[in-house]
Amino acid sequence: MGVTKRHIHPMQANKLADYAKVLSNPARVAILNYIGDCEGCLCKDISEKIRLSQPTTSQHLQVIKKIGLLKSKFEGKSQYYRINVDKLNELKSLFQEFFETTESKCC
Amino acid sequence: MGVTKRHIHPMQANKLADYAKVLSNPARVAILNYIGDCEGCLCKDISEKIRLSQPTTSQHLQVIKKIGLLKSKFEGKSQYYRINVDKLNELKSLFQEFFETTESKCC
DNA sequence: TAATTACATCGTAATATTGCAATAACAAAA
DNA sequence: TTTTGTTATTGCAATATTACGATGTAATTA
**Which ranges of chain A would DSSP assign to H, the alpha helix?**
11-22, 26-37, 43-50, 54-66, 85-105
**Chain-centre distance for alpha carbon A59:** 12
More confident residue, A38 or B82: B82
Measured between CA atoms, how close is B24 to chain A, in angstroms?
4
Instruction: Give, for B72, the enclosing helix (H) or strand (E).
Output: strand B70-75
Share of chain A above pLDDT 70, in %: 95
Strands B70-75 and B78-83: antiparallel
Mean pLDDT of chain B, nearest integer: 93
Per-residue confidence band for B74, with pLDDT thresholds at 50, 70 and 90: confident
Report yes or no: B56 at the A interface, CB cutoff 8 Å: no
User: Is the predicted pLDDT of residue A106 greater than 90, yes or no?
Assistant: no
Taking C1' of C10 and every protein CA, the nearest residue is A55
Give the tens place of pLDDT for each residue, B13-57.
999 999 999 999 999 999 999 997 767 699 999 999 999 999 999
**pTM for this prediction:** 0.95
Give residue-wise pLDDT tens across range A84-95: 999 999 999 999
Q: Are B56 and A2 in contact (CB under 8 A)?
A: no
* Domains by residue range for chain A, with CATH: 9-105 (1.10.10.10)
Element holding B11 (H helix, E strand): helix B11-22
Cβ partners under 8 Å of residue B90, min gap 6:
none
Q: Which residue of B has its CA nearest to A97?
A: B92
